[in-house]
Structure 1
Amino acid sequence: MLILQAFYWNCLDDWWEEIASIVEDIAVKGFDTVWLPPPSRGMNGKNSMGYDLKEHYNLDSKFGNKNTLKELINKLHENKIEVMADLVLGHMLGGDKEWNPHFKEITYTRFEEKTFPKNHKNFCHECGDCSCRSSFGETICYYSEDGYMKNQLINWAKWLKNEIGFDSFRLDNLKDMRWDFTKKFADEFRDSTFMVGEYWEGDDRILKEFIGYSNLNLFNFPLYYSIKEMCMDPLFPIRSLEAVSSKNKVNFLSNHDLERDERDFNRDAIITNKELGYAYILFQDNPAVIYWNDYFKYGLKEKLDQLINLRKNSNQQPLEIIDLTDDIYHARRGRYHLIINNAVNDYHFSGLTVSGRDYEIFIKD
């Protein structure tokens, strides 16, 4: 599975039409899934990226409307590309004021959306089972009112699949959500829908525990942080990448949050030798994400096309490690070989020279 994250923070207005204009190119390059930003209307309306969710069933946003979204999805499907919806399940913003008897104060918890109304009863009131109020909007309470919010969120996701046409889901900000709700939500779609969750955590042990509980795929943040060190430090031991668990993981090197600001001023972003990281993750078995700006903005397109072709041509063959040291990663799939040299000095193999801080692809029977 090769996913194109088809947006960046503060991307253009009418974004559905922008993507629709290049669908054929996306298909030809080899992407089989396109990940779109949250489609529902946010608190900031035409200035919203969708993460400030206000109206679940209102698809009028800065990106377009219900009609242009469905046209885009249909065009992607016609080109054999599946479409991933970004689901915000943990919070809402922009409600009207109301008296909240749980806190004896005014809260912004009245949402009068006709299809899916909510009030203070449906948001966290620290009832004792959990304590998950956050500073970002109103935190949803999944199990108050006989599970109203749990059931309605599941119905909304089913509507996005069945009525709008989404094929798969990215689940936003799982770290601040109840594990039992996440598992119940995933269980509703597990048999028919690919899902990947954002659990922003660099400790691989915690992610393995969550995966063991929920049986859900997660973005591979521990690998991301290790690859970041590799790309930016020639002394980083490349062999340690293989120690990061891969079960139920989706590999990536950037996203809209890591690069909200300009890349070179964002301490979390990989800003040098990023192609080394892409060479590594695109040769693995795991699903992988290519970030929009990496492909269309940062001058990596030619190298990424080469690596995508390598992935397409070799992915039917098992991955075999030929050489693994602190400086060198040499693996093959059938006739296709990849050598990543993370050291400063050149590396020589069978008449081939791999420059320091570079990689080489070659075919050898």
Structure 2
Amino acid sequence: MLILQAFYWNCLDNWWEEINSIADEIAVKGFDTVWLPPPSKGMDGKNSMGYDIKEHYNLDSKFGNKKTLKKLINKFHENNIDVMADLVLGHMLGGKKEWNPHFEKKTYTRFKEKNFPKNHMHFCHECGGCSSRNSFGETICYYSDQEYMKNELIKWADWLKKDIGFDSFRLDNLKDMRWDFTKEFVDQFRDNTFMVGEYWNGDDRTLQEFIDHSQINLFNFPLYYSIKEMCMDPFFPMQSIEGISKENKVNFLSNHDIEREERDFNKDAIITNKELGYAYILFQDNPAVIYWNDYFKYDLKDKLDELINLRKNSSHQPLEIVNLNDDIYHARRGRYNLIINNGYDEYSYSTLKVKGRDYEIFIED
């Protein structure tokens, strides 16, 4: 699976129409799925990126409305491309003030949305199992009031699939949510929906524990941080990349959070030799994400097209490691070879020369 993250932080207004205008171009590039930002209305209205979710069933947002969203989804479906919804399941913002007897003070927990009303009963009671009362809005309590929030969030996600047309889900900020809720949510859609969760943690063992519990795919943050080091440090040992677990992981090199500000001023962003990282993740078996700005803004489009074609042409062949040391990663799939040279010195393979801090693709006869 090859996913295009089809947005960036503070992307243009009327974004659904903007993407629709180039949907055919996206379709011929080899992407299987496009990942869209949260479609529901946020507290900040037309200035919201959707992560400050306020009204679940209201699809009027800075990106467009229900009509333009469904038009975009249908356009991708006509081109045999799936569409992924970004689901915010852990918190809400923008409620009205009401008396909250649990905390004996007023809280912003009254949401009057007709199809999905909520009040203080449905938000954090400090009952444990989650990062309670986080600093970003009102934390949802899934199991109070006869599991009202759990059941209604599942119903809402089902509506996004059946009525709006989404095919798959990205689950936001699992790190601050209850593990048991994540598993119960995933179980409802496991048979027919691809899902990937954001659990922002660079520890491979922690992610594997969550995967074992919830049986969900997670973004591969441990690999991301290692590839960041590789791209920005010629002395990074290439062997260490292969030591990171790959099961149920989705590989990526950037996202809307990593690059909220200008890329070169963000401490988490890969700002040099990023093509080395893309060469690696696009040659793997795992699902991979290409970030919108990397494809449409930065000077990587031609290289990414070449690597996408390599992935399409070789993915039916098993991956074999030919050579792996501190500087070199050489792998092949059938006749297709990829050599990444992370060191300074030129590397020779047969008659092929690979410059330092570069990669080469070649086909063996």
TM interval, short-chain normalised: over 0.9
Corresponding residue number in structure 2 for 1:150:
150
State the secondary structure of the residue aligned to 2:183: helix
1:278-312 CA distance string (max 9 Å, x none): 00000000000000000000110000000000000
State the secondary structure of the residue aligned to 2:323: strand
Corresponding residue number in structure 1 for 2:235:
235
Measured in 2, the distance between the counterparts of 1:334 and 1:257 equals 37
Change (3 A) 1:95 1:214: same
Measured in 1, the distance between the counterparts of 2:364 and 2:92 equals 55
Identity, in percent, stands at 80
Q: Please report the RMSD computed on the Cα atoms of aligned residues, expressed in angstroms.
A: 0.7
Corresponding residue number in structure 1 for 2:71:
71
Corresponding residue number in structure 2 for 1:248:
248
Corresponding residue number in structure 1 for 2:29:
29
Change (3 A) 1:213 1:60: same
Measured in 2, the distance between the counterparts of 1:354 and 1:257 equals 34
1:293-340 CA distance string (max 9 Å, x none): 000001100000000000000000000000000100000000000000
TM-score under structure 1 length normalisation: 0.99
Deviation at 1:133, TM superposition (A): 1.1
- Structure 2 stretches of 5 or more lacking a match? none
Measured in 1, the distance between the counterparts of 2:204 and 2:104 equals 41
Corresponding residue number in structure 2 for 1:312:
312
Corresponding residue number in structure 2 for 1:118:
118
Corresponding residue number in structure 2 for 1:224:
224
Measured in 2, the distance between the counterparts of 1:333 and 1:18 equals 37
Deviation at 1:125, TM superposition (A): 1.4
Measured in 2, the distance between the counterparts of 1:310 and 1:126 equals 51
Measured in 2, the distance between the counterparts of 1:152 and 1:339 equals 49
1:8-44 CA distance string (max 9 Å, x none): 0000000000000111111111001000000000000
TM-score under structure 2 length normalisation: 0.99
Deviation at 1:127, TM superposition (A): 3.2
Measured in 2, the distance between the counterparts of 1:129 and 1:248 equals 24
Measured in 1, the distance between the counterparts of 2:126 and 2:181 equals 16
1:348 aligns with 2:315: no
Measured in 2, the distance between the counterparts of 1:91 and 1:203 equals 25
Q: Which amino acid aligns with 1:207?
A: L
State the secondary structure of the residue aligned to 1:229: helix
1:258 aligns with 2:258: yes
1:198-252 CA distance string (max 9 Å, x none): 0000000000000011110000000000000000000000111000000000000
State the secondary structure of the residue aligned to 1:329: strand
> 4+ residue runs of structure 1 moved beyond 4 angstroms?
128-131
Measured in 2, the distance between the counterparts of 1:301 and 1:143 equals 46
Measured in 2, the distance between the counterparts of 1:289 and 1:150 equals 29
Matched length: 365
Corresponding residue number in structure 1 for 2:323:
323
State the secondary structure of the residue aligned to 1:31: coil
- Structure 1 stretches of 5 or more lacking a match? none
Deviation at 1:132, TM superposition (A): 1.2
Deviation at 1:131, TM superposition (A): 5.5
State the secondary structure of the residue aligned to 1:322: strand
